[in-house]
Chains A and B, each alone.
Chain A
């Protein structure tokens, strides 16, 4: 139920925060629906954030002081834009770097397995 159709929950659970923070770091302020659509388009639909995963996370990041909100009236309803605070900005850099590093390490590891099939035991 977490995010998507293509990848397992376990795999993606830990990266949701990284995705949202990086996206906001790149685009400045965004609202919830915009974030889901953006992720969907940018990943060719391979990752689809559900509301059930996104909004709880946004609220939590706000409570932790990583996000700021800004309300804009659109006719009868309110649209809430999320943007990074200084702390959020810093964290997004750290998380993105960490993930890149992790994925490189995984690549290296998996390549190693593929080149040396005996590792399969």
Chain B
């Protein structure tokens, strides 16, 4: 029986390494295999060179590299542990998202953390694992499709999470994610399916249904930006708001508690409005002061007013303070009872007792906060007009310290 010498073995070893077999244990296997095969062929009378060439040819198209690639794929195929991890991640995120949504709808505490955890696990844990698996098990040409699908799904999931939490950037995630799904993933996926499908009409209709669902979800998310909603909900308020905006420089310069308190309130309301628009829209104060409700892009922003008025800013107490002074000062004036900001009242919402400020302004969208501000401002303006009128016809009876 023929036996290869050391040089020949070195040559074969180098050849195998050169053609991309990096794994040592596979290298050993292949080296022995090739050597044995050559030895057997040489026994049949072939020269070393011919036997070598013939053996290599048996490896088929792709050759050694292909062996390495397939070994890698088979060994790294999602093993039992990974399958379990993927299953647990998927199940956890689904349960968290479901529970979070239900809690959110019922206004129970803990909804936020569940939604964030669920969305995070889904888009940063489960989906990447799924992508990795898909990339490995499918052909190379499919990679862009799977990546687009991953980006689309993860983006949409993050977008929905951000949307539920009223965090900034939700729109970008959602639109980006859905664009990836709608423009790249679904068309490619169904195009491929269609080409190899045995029942083309069914595949085609399934593709169309998928696209329709996507478009409907998109419409649902953006429904509150529809033009009709704008008109129905915002025009009357916008009208008030614009009107109130125009009277920033009203002359409250008269003496007396009422005038002082009213003018301070208006100044404060204007300042708050501008500050909140600045934060929500990320614009300069000059731009913010020119914007009306219809110019706002993030009309449902609950977050900014909440942070500004309650959490971090805590400016609400200032407003409550001046309104108390307005209430006190208006006693005995003609305006008494015309407006009543019952800042000491408590209200009940979803079984929870809330004070005046929380009831009117907590978890309320920016547009509604601004509308309420506009209403207060107009009330005060009207009241001060009445007081001024009364004073002009009945100076002595007005009850105001005349000052001059």
Evaluate contact between A78 and B28: CB separation under 8 angstroms.
yes
Q: Is A1 an interface residue (CB 8 A)?
A: yes
* 0/1 interface trace, chain B 65-103, chain A, CB 8 Å (1 if under): 011001101110101000000000000000000000000
Pick the residue among A51, A56, A74, A80 that contacts B73 (CB under 8 A).
Answer: A56
Neighbouring A residues of B25 by C-beta, 8 Å: 59, 80
Chain B residue nearest to A78 (CB atoms) is B28
Can you name 9 A-B pairs with beta carbons within 8 Å? A1-B61, A50-B59, A51-B30, A55-B67, A55-B71, A56-B74, A74-B32, A75-B6, A80-B29
Evaluate contact between A58 and B29: CB separation under 8 angstroms.
yes
Q: Is B245 an interface residue (CB 8 A)?
A: no
Evaluate contact between B35 and A77: CB separation under 8 angstroms.
yes
Neighbouring A residues of B79 by C-beta, 8 Å: 63
Say how far B49's CB is from chain A's closest CB, in angstroms.
19
Neighbouring B residues of A51 by C-beta, 8 Å: 30, 33, 58-59, 67
A56 to B304, CA, bound (A): 58
Q: Is A52 an interface residue (CB 8 A)?
A: yes
Pick the residue among B35, B36, B66 that contacts A52 (CB under 8 A).
Answer: B66
A112 to B30, CA, bound (A): 46
Evaluate contact between B60 and A50: CB separation under 8 angstroms.
yes
Evaluate contact between B28 and A80: CB separation under 8 angstroms.
yes
Chain B residue nearest to A37 (CB atoms) is B40
Pick the residue among A1, A36, A55, A76 that contacts B26 (CB under 8 A).
Answer: A55
Chain A residue nearest to B31 (CB atoms) is A77
A56 to B76, CA, bound (A): 11
Say how far B314's CB is from chain A's closest CB, in angstroms.
60
Evaluate contact between A56 and B71: CB separation under 8 angstroms.
yes
Binding site for B on A (CB under 8 A): 1, 31-33, 36, 50-53, 55-60, 63, 71, 74-80
Pick the residue among A1, A50, A59 that contacts B74 (CB under 8 A).
Answer: A59
Neighbouring B residues of A31 by C-beta, 8 Å: 32, 36
Say how far A105's CB is from chain B's closest CB, in angstroms.
25
Evaluate contact between A63 and B75: CB separation under 8 angstroms.
yes
Q: Is B3 an interface residue (CB 8 A)?
A: yes
Binding site for A on B (CB under 8 A): 3-4, 6, 9-10, 13, 25-26, 28-33, 35-37, 58-62, 66-67, 70-71, 73-75, 77, 79
Neighbouring B residues of A60 by C-beta, 8 Å: 71, 74-75, 77
Evaluate contact between A77 and B32: CB separation under 8 angstroms.
yes
A75 to B9, CA, bound (A): 10
A51 to B31, CA, bound (A): 11
A12 to B59, CA, bound (A): 18
A52 to B63, CA, bound (A): 8
Q: Please name 17 further chain A to chain B contacts, defined as beta carbons within 8 Å, in addition to the given A36-B33, A51-B30, A55-B71, sorted by A numbering.
A: A1-B66, A31-B32, A31-B36, A32-B29, A33-B32, A33-B37, A51-B33, A51-B59, A52-B67, A52-B70, A55-B30, A55-B33, A56-B70, A59-B71, A60-B75, A75-B3, A75-B4
Neighbouring B residues of A76 by C-beta, 8 Å: 6, 9-10
Chain A residue nearest to B35 (CB atoms) is A77
Q: What are the 9 A-B residue pairs with the smallest beta carbon separation, nearest first?
A: A56-B71, A60-B74, A56-B70, A33-B36, A56-B74, A33-B33, A79-B32, A76-B9, A52-B67
